[in-house]
Structure 1
Amino acid sequence: MIVRLALSIMLLASPALARQEPVPIAARDGQAFKHKHSGFSFPPTLIGLSRTQGLEVVAPQLDLFFHYRADDESEEISVYVYRMTSGSVPLWFDVSRSVVEARKETGSKAAWGPPAAFTPPGQANGSALQLGWTITGSRLRSTTLTLIPMGEWLVKIRHSSMAHEVASLQRRTAEAVAALGWPKRIAAAPDAAAIVACTDTLVLSGEAKPVKQSGAGTLVEALLAQMAGNPTDRKKAANPMKEAPLTWCADRMADSPVGLYRPQGTRDRYLLSLSDSGIAIRAEPSAASALLADTQQPAWSVTLLTAAKAYNFARRDRLPLPGQIDAILKENPLSSVSTWGDRQISLDSGAMK
């Protein structure tokens, strides 16, 4: 059985996140289940495989999935839809690829070439990525991973088989992609390509310590995090005439407990992936401190990004070491902001003094 990566162990101890147990989805037999935010639908059968019980991981339908299985359990397709509040398709494909390859209980995997871009249904360019593996040491013979952008949503498809070799399975995956219920209109997305490794190193200078906080800085930090975590707000704030899509690289050299990524050409910020469903930590120079000049020295913000909220922790005097993030997550955040639904901002009363 294919199972999704659980949240990183560092998240389990974070007071910012109350673990929500997945809730079964009430989908009617023989009818498609429609994702209410995007219009995407999960059909009752998919290339001959029957839909099983679906689960809502984050309400309201911000992260959900269904499995499809053959009657003899020789083949399974898992289809996930979740919100993308940071990063890019190449970045989150790389995270999911790492998860697939790390799961030794499903056998040893040999990638069948590099990730390939393709044009998904309803789109006009190669915005999606796919990769297949040959599996040994398991009842499974092959598996594929597909990641497709759909506006502010990602559609991830895991497809595994006991019978098909990898080339045959990839053809069946293509049939499954075409048979899913895609919305009539899908926002254009950038061309996708496998993420490249960063060619330089992060600028790190020891353990980061909290700087003196101010009420104004905390509020501005919250407002900026709310905008950064909402794709619609990001588009409104950007100037499309001069801003190109952000390109990320994978930092393979940093001493990090989980996947670390940076915008290409930067050495003073990073994004730490905490799960393969879009949850991440963003550490970067604090725009609030720069705007307000409320500290004498530069400061760095640390923000936990989830499907519905962003949590801001105390600003630091330098870029935190990736190994410090576990300890920072155990602190109480100074603010939390909604990036979905009602735009609520909650501030720690102590931070406003």
Structure 2
Amino acid sequence: MKTWMMVLALATATPAEARDLGVPAGKGWKHAETGLILMPQLAGLSRIALTDATQTERDVAAQYDMPDKSLFATIYLFHPAVADVAMWFDRSRTAIETRDLFRNAAPASADPIAFAVGGTGSAASLRQVYATPGGGQYRSTALAVVPVGDWVVSVRMSAKTLTADQLDASLQQVIQAIRWPPSATTGTIAAAPVTTCTTPLTFTKAKQTKPNGADLLMSLMASTMAAKAKTEETSAPPVPHPTWCRDGTASTEYGVYRSSASTGGYVMALYDAGRVISVYPSLMGQVDNSGTYAVSLEDVEGTTSVFPSFTALPSPKQVWDLVESGKRSGTMKGKQMTIDPKAL
């Protein structure tokens, strides 16, 4: 977890250390924006830590533990750049399956289980439980991802003695004990796991373009217009919720996803806590027919960082190396724009 915080601190200038929210051990905590409430005890587990990786409660983690340390749960609440349960379940599942601690874990069911929080609404959430081989630190581990409006809650649990079936029962008890807002119990979009894209992307030789002030400004303004469109009421019919497929093999650092609503390009979901890199034809490239591709990173606080464009569709490795270098050309948050003079 610290690795992605350091990488993104470099790219976005955000704090790399989580802050303690300072809630008394015997008091419940209510998240202001969603209304979700976490009590000091959940299904026999006690809250031992409550932190925020941002300054605005947009990436909160609550840790719960049994007195004998045989069972623990971590509940993450974050505001993802792409609000899609299947994508963030896929990222969390990858994080589990690529950890040395759980690398040989066997899923208890062939496919993730879709379920409804509170027993109402559509089965908009996903969960998966794993049995781990004998001799390890844990006998089982589990994951559940629940949508709360445009937010996502991820519940991770591991047990030293419980079987996979027993842990699944404990996971459901913890989920039931969380005090969910109406937006989590009235979901209407049924969840389904991400599948592999039928036709993988191909990449030609792509190079970074020379600094172009018009290209940079258009990319920054595009992020503002997209954010404004999300918040404004409109009489137009709702846009169908896109489905996502995963391109290639996911890694701990990122997964590459393509949307059914996309006309080109892809997104890279970083680690498993809401940050996304978008790689799409640039607006300027469409105007002057240069065919350039823009690269931008959006964090959980709504800050968009724009990086140098490419002459063609870049590979995910090229994009990852660029973002990891921290060479952003400009940033946009709300109406506040910051530009690197060298990018003009």
* TM score, norm. by length of structure 2: 0.89
Superposition deviation, residue 42 in structure 1: 1.0
Distance in 2, matches of 1:27 and 1:35, equals 12
Q: Which residue of 2 aligns with 1:162?
A: 160
Superposition deviation, residue 218 in structure 1: 2.1
Matched to 1:111, the amino acid is: P
Distance in 2, matches of 1:5 and 1:147, equals 21
Q: Which residue of 1 aligns with 2:220?
A: 222
Q: Which residue of 2 aligns with 1:333?
A: 328
Query: CA-to-partner distance for each residue in 1:10-35, whole Å, 9 max, x for gaps?
Result: 546x4433443111121123221111
Distance in 2, matches of 1:255 and 1:39, equals 33
- 1:269 maps to 2:265: yes
Distance 1:189 1:26, change over 3 A: farther
Q: Which residue of 2 aligns with 1:198?
A: 197
Matched to 1:168, the amino acid is: Q
Distance in 2, matches of 1:196 and 1:239, equals 33
Query: CA-to-partner distance for each residue in 1:127-181, whole Å, 9 max, x for gaps?
Result: 1100000011313111110000101211000111122211121122111111102
Superposition deviation, residue 9 in structure 1: 7.3
Distance in 2, matches of 1:192 and 1:238, equals 26
Q: Which residue of 1 aligns with 2:49?
A: 53
Q: How many residues align?
A: 339
Superposition deviation, residue 326 in structure 1: 3.4
Superposition deviation, residue 214 in structure 1: 2.9
- 1:319 maps to 2:313: yes
Q: Which residue of 1 aligns with 2:89?
A: 93
* TM score, norm. by length of structure 1: 0.87
Matched to 1:167, the amino acid is: D
Give 5+ residue unaligned stretches, structure 1. none
Larger deviation, residues 161-170 vs 73-82 = 161-170
Matches within 5 A, 1:1-353: 4=1, 6-7=3-4, 11=8, 14-86=10-82, 88-106=84-102, 108-113=104-109, 114-121=111-118, 124-136=121-133, 137-186=135-184, 188=187, 190-211=189-210, 213-215=212-214, 217-228=215-226, 230=227, 233-234=229-230, 236=232, 241=237, 243-252=239-248, 258-264=254-260, 268-290=264-286, 293=287, 295-308=288-301, 309-329=303-323, 330-338=325-333, 342-352=334-344
Query: CA-to-partner distance for each residue in 1:91-115, whole Å, 9 max, x for gaps?
Result: 1111110101111135630011111
Give 5+ residue unaligned stretches, structure 2. none
Superposition deviation, residue 332 in structure 1: 2.8
Matched to 2:149, the amino acid is: G
Which secondary structure state, in structure 2, belongs to the residue aligned with residue 323 of structure 1? helix
Distance in 1, matches of 2:102 and 2:202, equals 38
Distance in 2, matches of 1:204 and 1:17, equals 30
Asked if the contact 2:25–2:48 (Cα under 8 Å) also holds between the matched residues in 1, the reply is no
Matched to 2:39, the amino acid is: P
Which secondary structure state, in structure 2, belongs to the residue aligned with residue 246 of structure 1? coil
Asked if the contact 2:5–2:16 (Cα under 8 Å) also holds between the matched residues in 1, the reply is no
Distance 1:37 1:254, change over 3 A: closer
Superposition deviation, residue 67 in structure 1: 0.9
Distance in 2, matches of 1:347 and 1:69, equals 45
Superposition deviation, residue 233 in structure 1: 3.0
Distance in 2, matches of 1:52 and 1:331, equals 34
Matched to 1:241, the amino acid is: P
Distance in 1, matches of 2:132 and 2:224, equals 42
Superposition deviation, residue 54 in structure 1: 1.2
Superposition deviation, residue 235 in structure 1: 6.1
